[in-house]
Structure 1
Amino acid sequence: MPRAKRFYIPGCVWHITHRCHKKEFLLKFARDRNRWLDLLFRAKQKYGLEVLNYIVTSNHIHLLVSDNGNRDTIPKSMQLIAGQTAQEYNIRKKRRGAYWEDRYHATAIQVDTHLASCLIYIDMNMVRTGVVSHPSEWRWSGYNEIQNPKKRYAILNYRRLMELLGCESLDALKEVHGQWIEDSLKKGKPAREKKWSRGIAVGSREYIENIQTKLGVKAIHRKIHESKDSSELREDQSPYTAIFGTENERLRQENTYRWGLF
């Protein structure tokens, strides 16, 4: 099955997931998780990547980022991080072959309660797998950086995160974020929600329909799926070469652009 084409839609918040090849535990060593975060900080400095949250597990990563208006920022950042991580690991381990499973997946997230839910979903990742009982116990995550803000070498863009969540100060952000996590923990072990990492976009019905409009002809055969508290625009299973012809690519270019790939 041909891979889906990925398109850049200006002004979105993106939830990015990237898994190690064959779901191998290639990030199981602390030095590799630390290195991934070092490279994430470097991407922030070099390309202006606006990071809202993140977590590095033993075999995949979650990254929540805000569009800064430059369509090359996210793909160039991911190329830097993923490429350097893979190269250094393979050299050190005298290993050959793919390090990452295909390319990263990006899902557009509506900036409202869906953004808060996605933020919590990322923080609760290692609790969900049973590795830790509280997000604070996993140090390779944005949870600790929100609850203990850094004055230097911060990866998170606190200003942007506060703006999107409607918080007037870092103390307010810490308080509301901490309460969200505690409320989630009281509900018991969280379940995996595939909507955050399998679709094109997650949000209200109105938001999803707006995304469809911006995608134009590129949204043909992509279906809206409804759940209790959100809607999700998913990829179609049809071969993409049969859907997107040369003439179609000329349509709605003012709204969508081909995202750089690596």
Structure 2
Amino acid sequence: MARQPRLALAGHPHHLIQRGNNDQAVVVDTADRQMLLDTLGEQAQRTGVALHAYVILEDHFHVLATPPTAEALSLWMQAVGRHYVRHFNDRHGRRGTLWEGRYRGTVLQAERYFLPCMAYIDLHPVRAGLVEQARDYAWSSHGHYAGLRTDRFLTPHALYWALGNTPFAREAAYAEMVHVGPTRAEQLILTEATRKGWAAGEAAFVQQLQADTTRRLAVGRAGRKPKDPSLPGG
């Protein structure tokens, strides 16, 4: 069965995951992590993609971003792949592919899933047992939104600005939201939608988007039950 084209809709936030081939490491040390982060940010600016959030783990990374055009996401990720893989291969004396294949992603209904997705991304290092709290992990956007540092490539979404009238209020509200975390139902939806390439949103949102594209945006009635994000591969 032919694969569906990637889901990419201008002006909507998208959650993307790019994994290493056969679960191999895509970063080895701090220099690799910084290079990958810089490449994500620089190429986002070049392609006009608004990068809202990220987490870089050993064998994959997550990003939350809004493209100005349907083509911009693919152009962004292709550019990241070209620039970063060249660096990684040269630095570590290797050749060949680094990525599992094409990235996976979902478009989000912003008002319903944007902030839960940010928390979902921030909490990956906690779920993986790397740190006890999201604030303890250096290679995610949590530190920026919690007021611990400034990431120059990030573009805060309007929903983050709406968390408070002052920087302190927004940072405190966001830190508390991450502390509470997304609900189990939200985790299941975000995990399955990203794996399968479906839209993550309420029925009316999906129906509205479906009117503008021939690509199927939701699983049919015969779809399988969403996989538990606590299982391997989440």
Say yes or no: TM over 0.5: yes
What's the counterpart of residue 133 of structure 2? 134
What's the counterpart of residue 237 of structure 1? none
The counterpart of 2:203, out of the listed 194, 202, 205, is 205
For 1:51 and 1:143, the matched residues in 2 are separated by 13
- For residue 76 of structure 1, what is the amino acid of its counterpart? L
Once the two structures are superposed, residues 44-85 of structure 1 have per-residue CA deviations (whole angstroms, 9 ceiling, x without a partner) of 3322221111101001010001233x3333222212212211
For 1:23 and 1:75, the matched residues in 2 are separated by 22
For 1:61 and 1:98, the matched residues in 2 are separated by 16
What's the counterpart of residue 145 of structure 2? 146
What's the counterpart of residue 105 of structure 1? 104
Q: Could you list the runs of 5+ residues in structure 1 that have no partner in the other structure?
A: 229-262
Does residue 184 in structure 1 map to residue 175 in structure 2?
no
For 1:34 and 1:28, the matched residues in 2 are separated by 11
What's the counterpart of residue 223 of structure 1? 220
What's the counterpart of residue 29 of structure 1? 29
For residue 39 of structure 1, report the CA deviation from its aligned partner. 0.8
Does residue 81 in structure 1 map to residue 80 in structure 2?
yes
For residue 170 of structure 1, report the CA deviation from its aligned partner. 3.0
For residue 109 of structure 1, report the CA deviation from its aligned partner. 0.6
Q: Report the 3-state secondary structure (helix = DSSP H, G, I; strand = E; otherwise coil) of the residue aligned with 1:58.
A: coil
Is the contact between residue 18 and residue 103 of structure 1 (CA under 8 Å) also seen in structure 2? yes
Which TM-score applies when normalising by structure 2? Answer: 0.82
- For residue 18 of structure 1, what is the amino acid of its counterpart? Q
Q: Report the 3-state secondary structure (helix = DSSP H, G, I; strand = E; otherwise coil) of the residue aligned with 1:101.
A: coil
Greater strand share, structure number: 1
Q: How does 1:32-43 map to 2 (within 5 A)?
A: 32-43=32-43
Is the contact between residue 16 and residue 107 of structure 1 (CA under 8 Å) also seen in structure 2? yes
For 2:125 and 2:132, the matched residues in 1 are separated by 8
Q: Report the 3-state secondary structure (helix = DSSP H, G, I; strand = E; otherwise coil) of the residue aligned with 2:25.
A: coil
For residue 166 of structure 1, report the CA deviation from its aligned partner. 5.6
Distance 1:221-1:227 versus aligned 2 partners, 3 A rule = closer
For residue 4 of structure 1, report the CA deviation from its aligned partner. 2.6
Is the contact between residue 108 and residue 202 of structure 1 (CA under 8 Å) also seen in structure 2? yes
Question: Which is higher, the Rg of structure 1 or of structure 2?
Answer: 1
For 1:221 and 1:17, the matched residues in 2 are separated by 19
Structure 1 range deviating more: 32-41 or 192-201: 192-201
What's the counterpart of residue 157 of structure 1? 155
- For residue 3 of structure 2, what is the amino acid of its counterpart? R
Question: Identity percentage over the alignment?
Answer: 22
What's the counterpart of residue 170 of structure 2? 173
For 1:111 and 1:127, the matched residues in 2 are separated by 24
Once the two structures are superposed, residues 160-215 of structure 1 have per-residue CA deviations (whole angstroms, 9 ceiling, x without a partner) of 4535x565443332122111112239x99x97762252132101121122222222
Aligned residues: 222
For 1:213 and 1:40, the matched residues in 2 are separated by 32
Q: Could you list the runs of 5+ residues in structure 2 that have no partner in the other structure?
A: 227-234
Does residue 61 in structure 1 map to residue 61 in structure 2?
yes
For 1:73 and 1:9, the matched residues in 2 are separated by 9
